[in-house]
Structure 1
């Protein structure tokens, strides 16, 4: 990716260098994803919770009844990724269910990213709300931060409850999808039950 294309972005979840994540995005209980200028890029919606499960969650406030499935949707509402949590493993698929890879907890603040049985990177949270995602070679490819404004984020400032995803390199699949899935869904699962 050239420095010029990094600044310009591409107008999609997979091409923008900065994503602002977390502002509520409607009645479906999801949250929005915006570019650095505040333009909507997509949403993340918790799915798989029927009315009874929602009622039990509201009455008991138990993590056992919280949704553990997410759909990542583009700005047109089309599903581009699905993420399903099973214990300490997050399975990432395309909209049609084709497997992309998984994100597996290996320690309190450390996750392995893998695809087709091979390691493609790691995600670490060295304490606090921030994450760093590295490729298989150990190079940092993306990071998330809460409440901070990276130097190049010039159009919009994160609001309360939002976090910023900074993609440091142009990524291809499966890493691109795993980075987006991790950056958009791990925070709500880990921080909010």
Structure 2
């Protein structure tokens, strides 16, 4: 597993742009060091113009790649075109499937199923409220194993205070497919969920 996936606390930060046409996100450790990044891939000029002049882009297919600090791809995320519910297909750098994130409901507290590469449930992402700002990631036994939040405390509060940051805290004992999918969830929170607002 790439070194990036060994971190237990990280911050996903949307890179500031004058006009947001291509989504880019920095991934930093708790000390503010760059440890990776997420980039939206494969947008044509026409698609960028469409995104600039309308909001129809939110219903189209989105492709993202998660890179480590050296620029090596470690994960691909594809959110196919959607109408109501999002699905995010997660792939390894070689193109083989790694799992899926599937939206389970539209109203109330949003929930997403986490599936492994065989389509078997391995956990869930659960929004803590209807605005979906904070998420718990639970395993199949209902134990919380990770948290994605916009609430920062302690040293992190001074360094990361804008609304474009998510803090990801992962149980150090979490490993395997659920750890991998937790990083996918962290990448997908803003790319697949919040961009739809």
Q: Which interval holds the TM-score relative to the shorter structure?
A: 0.7 to 0.9
Q: Select between 123-132 and 153-162 the one with higher mean Cα deviation.
A: 153-162
1:107 match: 105
- Structure 2-normalised TM-score? 0.82
Q: Provide, for residues 45-70 of structure 1, a one-character-per-residue CA deviation record: whole Å limited to 9, x for no partner.
A: 11121111111111223234766111
SS of the residue corresponding to residue 72 of structure 1 reads: strand
Shift of 1:186: 2.3
Cα 1:65–1:140 change in 2 (3 A) is closer
Unaligned runs of 5+ in 2: none
1:26-105 paired onto structure 2 within 5 Å: 29-64=23-58, 68-86=62-80, 87=82, 88-105=86-103
* C-alpha displacement of 1:154: 5.7
Q: Higher mean Cα deviation, 31-40 or 60-69? A: 60-69
Could you list the per-position Cα deviations for residues 81-108 of structure 1 after superposition, in whole angstroms to 9, with x for gaps in the alignment?
0011123211111011111111111113
CA distance in 2, matches of 1:36, 1:59: 36
Which residue number in structure 1 is paired with residue 191 of structure 2? 188
1:115-155 Cα offsets, whole Å, 9 max, x none, are 11211001100213001001111111110111422x6x669
Mark the CA change 1:75 to 1:114 in structure 2 (over 3 Å): closer, same or farther. same
Q: Which runs of 5+ in 1 are unaligned?
A: 1-10
- Please report the TM-score for the alignment, with normalisation by the length of structure 1: 0.84
| Residues 147-158 of structure 1 aligned to structure 2 (within 5 Å) | 147-149=151-153, 157-158=159-160
The SS at the match of 1:174 is helix
Output the CA distance in 2 between the equivalents of 1:156 and 1:37. Answer: 11
What is the root-mean-square deviation in Å for CA atoms of aligned residues?
Answer: 2.4
Contact 1:33 1:41 in 2 (8 A): yes
The range that moved more, 20-29 or 179-188, is 20-29
Q: Give yes or no for contact 1:49–1:66 (8 Å, CA) kept in 2.
A: no
**CA spacing shift, 1:71–1:174, aligned 2, 3 Å:** same
- How far is the alpha carbon of 1:24 from its aligned partner? 1.2
